[in-house]
């Protein structure tokens, strides 16, 4: 059980930077917040995306800053958990210290191996899948072999540094094809990829206490003895937890550079040619959903607009766009349909005299378009039996009240924005649940506070409904929208 003054830490390792929150276990209020940049990702060749793996060093620096900020309250820290984007992997030595660069989630240097694996095993292995990166790391094109080499996900590097244990959770490892319920690596696929099981860490479920912070590390960063380290979940899942969307009938839209949609189900749910997959939660439920390549990143395409706040105000004044578009900043879409050749498109309004919108028209079109994708994603989940009566919104996109109103208006129902919508907060809730022995759902109900409920704007709903129907018609015309759920 937890007592007054006790704290938990949530650590989020995003692509560009790391963030740590210290959260009061009794109230759910943030007591300290510190951030630090991570090395910029590098593209050394087409299809490559890598980063210097300084994660352990950065987290130690965050811990020192947090404990200094907390002062005497740092003695109340009881547990911590780490979250990151899924699929980023790095080769390390037997102690978990990286021996090369981290291959990030979009790295495709294993594309040829993925094609070969798909052909030989009959399993669909994507060019940017975790398994393809593992195959490349284990193959002859990688750096010279290191005795005792292991392959870790980004949070595992931090956990190894803090506890001395090599372990990974099924959430971060999901896209390597693991059996999340049985805690099993995919032996057949790994054998075909020439990745030895001995080079992979132990699998545990999210929310498992995997150890305590080592005495020397605790002394170095200012933590008290015995701080428990709790296995995390991916940043999309911890954002879902931060939103409080952990009970059946609830869903979350995480709008950052990309858009992630997730719901809750008592059973595992997959569908639409792999566009929908499920993470297993600590309570045994499943969180099905998918990650779209659309999102706030599209607003910066072709230079975007010079002033986002002014563009939002103009978009609000203009109302729903007469243009219709599917917003992608690059090639390929993962959800609500899997289409590697998909690219953005803009359809001019009937009778338009120009084929090019103004920057402000395009801005409003993208606001509407991302909201349309959110609605389509929720409808696709509903087709698989994952309904939503309570939709929560988190992520950087929620800073735009105009955009959040557009999203509510497209959905035709209110959306709830939580007071602390960060993935780091969700990681802290995982730690709180584990160290208190309280069910995750009960922990979320107790500690997640709503900041506001945003209602649909009735002045916009009719025109947005027309725009959505026009987008669906175009997706069907292009053959992108497969109606088969299997």
Which of 231-240, 260-269, 296-305, 455-464 is predicted with the least confidence, judged by mean pLDDT? 296-305
Has residue 145 got a pLDDT over 70? no
Predicted local confidence at residue 60, as pLDDT = 98
Give the confidence band of 2 by pLDDT, cuts at 50, 70, 90: very low
CATH classification code of 7-230? 3.30.420.40
Cβ 115 vs Cβ 132: under 8 Å: no
Long-range contacts of 110-118 (CB under 8 A, 24+ apart): 110/134, 110/135, 110/136, 111/47, 113/139, 113/193, 117/189, 117/192, 117/193
Give the model's pLDDT for residue 124.
Answer: 85
What is the average per-residue pLDDT within 123-140? 90
Residue 486 has pLDDT above 60, yes or no: no
The pLDDT value given to residue 146: 54
The conformation of residue 297, written as its DSSP 8-state character, comes to G
pLDDT value at residue 24: 97
Q: What is the pLDDT of residues 290-341, one digit of tens each?
A: 989 999 989 988 788 889 999 999 999 999 999 999 999 888 898 999 888 8
More confident: 482 or 428: 428
- Which of these ranges, 132-146, 238-252, 346-360, has the smallest mean pLDDT? 132-146
pLDDT confidence of residue 345: 95
- How high is the mean pLDDT of the chain? 93
Closest listed residue to residue 327, CA positions, set 269, 369, 387: 369
Is residue 3 scored above 70 in pLDDT? no
Question: Domain spanning 240-486 has what CATH number?
Answer: 3.30.420.40
Does 392 score more than 60 pLDDT? yes
Question: What are the tokens at 353?
Answer: 């005299």
- Taking 70 as the threshold, does the pLDDT of residue 436 lie above it? yes
Please state the domain extents for the chain: 7-230, 240-486
> What does pTM read for this prediction?
0.89
Give mean pLDDT, residues 192-220: 96
Q: Is the pLDDT of residue 256 over 50?
A: yes
- The full length of the chain comes to 486
Q: How confident is the model at residue 174 (pLDDT cuts 50, 70, 90)?
A: very high
Q: Mean pLDDT across the stretch 247-256?
A: 94
Q: Specify the DSSP class assigned to residue 214.
A: -
- Token pair, residue 381, equals 């989940």
Can you give the chain as a three-state secondary structure string?
CCCCCCEEEEEEECCCEEEEEEEECCCCCEEEEEEEECCCCECCCCCCCEECCCHHHHHHHHHHHHHHHHHHHHHHEEEEEEEECCCCEEEECCCCCECCCEECCCCCCCHHHHHHHHHHHCCCCCCCCHHHHHHHHHCCCCCCCCCCCEEEEHHHHHHHHHHCCCEEECCCCHHHCCECCCCECCHHHHHHCCCCHHHCCEEECCCCEEEECCHHHHHHHCCCCCCEEECCCCHHHHHHHHHCCCCCEEEEEEECCCEEEECCECCCCCECCCCEEEEECCCCCEEEEEEECCCHHHHHHHHCCCCHHHHHHHHHHHCCCCCEEECCCCCCECCCCCECCCCCEEECCCCCCCCCCCHHHHHHHHHHHHHHHHHHHHHHHHHCCCCEEEEEEECHHHHCHHHHHHHHHHHCCCEEEECCCCHHHHHHHHHHHHHHCCCHHHHHHHHCCEEEEECCCHHHHHHHHHHHHHHHHHHHHHCCCCCCCC
Residue 1's pLDDT is 39
pLDDT greater than 90 at residue 421: no
pLDDT digit string (tens) for 348-372?
Answer: 998 777 778 899 999 999 999 999 9
Torsion angle (degrees, nearest 10) of CA 469, 470, 476, 482: -40
Percent of the chain with pLDDT over 70: 97
Determine which of 144-148, 173-177, 268-272 has the lowest per-residue pLDDT on average.
144-148
Q: What is the pLDDT of residue 302?
A: 78
CA proximity to 20, closest of 78, 54, 65: 65
Strands 388-394 and 249-255: parallel
| Mean pLDDT score, 8-21 | 96
Of 72, 55, 57, 66, whose CA–CA distance to 5 is shortest?
A: 72
Q: What average pLDDT does range 42-57 have in this prediction?
A: 94
**pLDDT for position 268:** 95
- How high is the pLDDT of residue 326? 97
* Structure tokens given for 200: 């992979």
What is the reported pLDDT for 390? 96
Q: Note whether 7-230 and 240-486 share their fold.
A: yes
């Amino acid at each position: 059980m937890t007592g007054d003054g006790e704290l938990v830490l949530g650590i989020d390792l995003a692509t560009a930077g790391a963030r740590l929150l210290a959260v009061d276990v009794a109230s759910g209020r943030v007591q300290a917040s510190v951030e630090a940049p991570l090395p910029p990702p590098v593209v050394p060749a087409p299809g490559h995306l890598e980063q210097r793996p300084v994660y352990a060093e950065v987290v130690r620096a965050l811990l020192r800053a947090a404990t200094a900020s907390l002062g005497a309250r740092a003695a109340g820290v009881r547990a911590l958990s780490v979250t990151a984007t899924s699929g980023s992997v790095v080769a390390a030595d037997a102690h978990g210290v990286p021996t090369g660069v981290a291959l990030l989630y979009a790295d495709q240097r294993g594309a040829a191996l993925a094609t070969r694996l798909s052909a030989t095993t009959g399993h669909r292995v994507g060019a940017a899948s975790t398994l393809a990166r593992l195959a490349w790391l284990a193959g002859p094109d990688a750096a010279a072999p290191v005795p005792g080499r292991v392959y870790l996900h980004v949070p595992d590097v931090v956990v190894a540094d803090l506890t001395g244990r090599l372990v990974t959770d099924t959430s971060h490892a999901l896209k390597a094809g693991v059996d999340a319920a049985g805690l099993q690596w995919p032996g057949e696929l790994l054998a075909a990829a020439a990745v030895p099981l001995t080079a992979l860490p132990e699998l545990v479920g999210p929310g498992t206490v995997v150890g305590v912070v080592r005495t020397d590390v605790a002394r170095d960063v200012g933590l008290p003895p015995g701080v428990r380290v709790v296995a995390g979940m991916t940043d999309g899942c911890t954002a879902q937890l931060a939103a409080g969307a952990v009970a059946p009938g609830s869903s979350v839209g995480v709008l950052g550079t990309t858009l992630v949609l997730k719901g809750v189900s008592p059973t595992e749910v997959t569908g639409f040619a792999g566009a929908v997959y499920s993470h297993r939660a600590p309570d045994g439920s499943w969180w099905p959903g998918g990650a779209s390549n659309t999102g706030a990143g599209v607003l910066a395409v072709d230079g975007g607009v010079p002033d986002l706040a002014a563009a939002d105000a103009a978009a609000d004044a203009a109302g729903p766009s007469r243009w219709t578009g599917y917003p992608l900043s690059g090639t390929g879409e993962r959800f609500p349909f899997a289409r590697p050749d998909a690219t953005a498109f803009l359809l001019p309004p009937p009778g338009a005299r120009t084929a090019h919108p103004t920057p402000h028209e395009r801005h409003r079109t993208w606001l509407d378009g991302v909201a349309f994708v959110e609605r389509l994603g929720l409808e696709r989940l509903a087709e698989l039996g994952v309904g939503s009566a309570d939709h929560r919104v988190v992520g950087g996109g929620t800073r735009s009240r105009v955009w959040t109103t557009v999203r509510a208006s497209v959905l035709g129902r209110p959306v709830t924005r939580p007071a602390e919508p960060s993935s780091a907060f969700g990681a802290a809730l995982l730690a709180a649940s584990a160290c208190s022995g309280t069910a995750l759902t009960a922990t979320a109900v107790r500690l997640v506070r709503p900041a506001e409920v945003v209602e649909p704007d009735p002045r916009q709903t009719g025109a947005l409904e027309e725009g959505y129907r026009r987008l669906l018609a175009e997706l069907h015309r292009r053959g992108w929208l497969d109606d088969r759920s299997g």
